[in-house]
Amino acid sequence: MRYEIHAKAGHWDLATEDALTLAKTVPDKPDTWTKLAYATRRKPGGGIPPAKEILAAARQRFPTEALIAYNLACYECQLGNLPLARALLREAFQLGKPAIFKEMSLSDPDLEPLRQEIGLM
């Protein structure tokens, strides 16, 4: 609950601390790691590279979690690694509910460089 409050308020440093606490107490929940990556990306001094590291490790632990693949696709797209972003996005579509992920991806600013291709996926 604290994470959600801090995230909604844009207090990413506090949200990161909350997510780290979650990672210690409930490490077997995939959303713990997506929250940690999301907050890490946005906190002062954070960014995409450290958030990507968090999710890359989480992907090893939760290889069938669609949201992890999706967020990694977003990060790779923003880093300019479009072939890897495409592959990860396709994987997210396969692992999750394709219609939901397609809808999300069509409005996600992180995936803007792939917008035209997403419509064809």
Predicted TM-score (pTM) of the model is: 0.93
Q: What is the mean pLDDT of the chain?
A: 96
What is the structure's pLDDT at 119? 80
pLDDT at 120 over 80: no
Alpha helices in 1-121 (DSSP H): 2-9, 12-25, 30-42, 48-61, 66-78, 82-95, 98-107, 115-120
CA distance 26 to 34: 13
The model's pLDDT over 48-79, given as tens digits with 9 standing for 90+, comes to: 999 999 999 999 999 999 999 999 999 999 99
Per-residue model confidence as pLDDT tens digits over 1-15: 899 999 999 999 999
